[in-house]
Amino acid sequence: MKKTDIILIIAVITLSVFLSIVLRKDLTEDLRVNILVDGELVRSESMSGTETKIIIENHYGCNIIEIGTDTVSVTWSDCASQECVHTGKISKPGEVIVCLPHRLLVSIEGLSQSEVIDAIT
């Protein structure tokens, strides 16, 4: 191996490490919790580490949604079935909580850790 080969290998390794750090920072934006009623976005909150309690009240009924540091759950609902409350906590992008009587949908949007790793690779 010549001196230029070693310089080229070091440059490629340095560039790949730098790009992986930059891409990881750009791609790991915080996850967002979207709350929809009747298919319309009512509220969008970041899962930024602060705990938030949201009350969604409309002519269908009332729900209380708690957004934690890494989970979301419907903690109270005045619907009869309580399916949304029994769903429990969700934490991954693509997971949803649905309250059919209140036409409420709570979803997590963003890139999962595996998608970030795939994008970097």
Condensed to tens digits (0 to 9), the pLDDT of residues 17-61 reads 887 776 655 444 578 899 999 999 999 998 876 888 999 999 999
Region of 49 on the Ramachandran plot (φ > 0 left; ψ -120 to 50 alpha; else beta): left
Domain 30-112 has CATH 1.10.760.10: no
Residue 77: enclosing H or E segment and its boundaries?
Answer: strand 72-77
Residues 6+ apart with CB under 8 A from 74: 63, 64, 65, 66, 84, 85, 87, 97, 99, 104, 106
Does 121 have pLDDT greater than 60? no
Assess contact for 84 and 75: CB atoms under 8 A. Answer: no
* Distance (Å, whole) CA 13 – CA 17: 6
Contact by Cβ (8 Å): 58, 71? no
Q: Supply the mean pLDDT for the chain.
A: 85
17 alpha-carbon distance from chain centroid: 26
Confirm if 113 and 93 have CB atoms less than 8 A apart. no
- pLDDT for the residue 28: 45
